[in-house]
Amino acid sequence: MEGRVAFVTGGGSGMGRETARLLAEVGARVTVCDRDGDAARETVEIVEEAGGTARVEEADVSDSGAVNRAVAAAADAFGPIDALVNIAGIYRIAAVEDIADEDWARMFAVHVDGTFYTCRAVLPGMIAARSGAIVNMSSLHAVRGQANAAHYAAAKGAIIGLTKSIAREKGPFGIRANAVAPGPIDTPLWRGAVPPDEIDAVMAKRSEVIPMGRLGAPAEVAQTIVHLLSPAASYITGQVVTIDGGESMA
């Protein structure tokens, strides 16, 4: 990834932070985009302390103008983006009949609109360069469905359709697009969905149905994302890579 220019949304925490850190470690210059500017700055500090190159773009990915400005500023600073990673996301728990219009809309705004806006913003540069790679964050919930998170699962499903369409449309331009679909990964988002005093019990129960017997670590997803962005994955496009410790195997 030496010399590559990466843009990572949700780079202030969890899998986004780990992906930004790893991309910088393997030589990419990374723009860390997050709506939480302090969190993104912390990621940049981690990267810089390790000798890498990174910068911050504070932006809410559901705001197309903010995304356009962030992508333009990133390209001004480091050159045209050739590796885009959409990781920004939120999680909410609600039965279908209890999902309010605004909660449904927000879920789609962050995941689907946000992923679309960044892809739309970087693609002209990738088309001009006749190369580029995109990795979008889906979820096991998109593939299997999830009780009490239908809005989340539906939004993550839409990301798969968007990703495969980009792969078909832009393959002729040398651009690849893939999605990752993690199972439970131990991050602030996963922990935030569980009452604090029940985390150990919920984690143990969930681990029982995972052949690997545990939740995943952010690094285990980041490694796959970096592989999908790299020349080593030059013939992989339009795929959804499941990273779930074997939980969903047929």
Which residue out of 91, 117, 152, 235 is catalytically annotated?
152
| Least distance in angstroms from the C-beta of 130 to ligand NAD | 29
Q: Which of the ranges 45-53, 57-65, 92-100, 225-233 carries the binding residues for ligand NAD, by CB under 6 A? A: 57-65
Does the footprint of ligand NAD cover residue 60 (CB under 6 A)?
Answer: yes
Does the footprint of ligand NAD cover residue 150 (CB under 6 A)?
Answer: no
Binding mask 87-106 for ligand NAD (x = CB under 6 A): xxxxx---------------
| Least distance in angstroms from the C-beta of 51 to ligand NAD | 23
User: Which residue in the set 4, 7, 12, 154 belongs to the binding site for ligand NAD (CB under 6 A)?
Assistant: 12
Binding mask 25-54 for ligand NAD (x = CB under 6 A): ---------xxx--x---------------
Tell me the number of residues near ligand NAD by CB under 6 A. Answer: 30
Q: Which residue, 15 or 241, is less far from ligand NAD as judged by CB? A: 15
Does the footprint of ligand NAD cover residue 146 (CB under 6 A)?
Answer: no
Q: In whole angstroms, what is the distance from residue 107 CA to residue 169 CA?
A: 26
Q: In whole angstroms, what is the distance from residue 137 CA to residue 11 CA?
A: 12
Q: Which residue, 129 or 206, is less far from ligand NAD as judged by CB? A: 206
Q: Hey, which residues does 34 pair with through a beta bridge?
A: 58
Q: CB–CB of 176/199 below 8 Å? A: no
Contacts of 243 by beta carbon, 8 Å cutoff, 6+ apart: 180, 181, 182, 183, 185, 216, 220, 221, 224
DSSP 3-state assignment of 62?
coil
Contacts of 232 by beta carbon, 8 Å cutoff, 6+ apart: none
The question of whether 152 is a catalytic residue gets the answer yes
Q: Tell me, what amino acid is at 231?
A: P
Q: In whole angstroms, what is the distance from residue 209 CA to residue 247 CA?
A: 6
| Least distance in angstroms from the C-beta of 176 to ligand NAD | 20
Q: In whole angstroms, what is the distance from residue 115 CA to residue 203 CA?
A: 29
User: Which residue in the set 62, 118, 237, 239 belongs to the binding site for ligand NAD (CB under 6 A)?
Assistant: 62
Residue 179 Cα distances to 25, 73, 85, 131, angstroms: 22, 25, 9, 18
Per CB under 6 A, contacts with ligand NAD among 164-223 are 182, 184-185, 187-190
DSSP string, 85-146: EE-------B-GGG--HHHHHHHHIIIIIHHHHHHHHHHHHHHHHT-EEEEEE--HHHHH--
Q: Which residue, 37 or 79, is less far from ligand NAD as judged by CB? A: 37
Residues that bind ligand NAD (CB under 6 A): 9-10, 12-16, 34-36, 39, 60-62, 87-91, 110, 114, 137, 139, 182, 184-185, 187-190
Positions marked active-site: 152
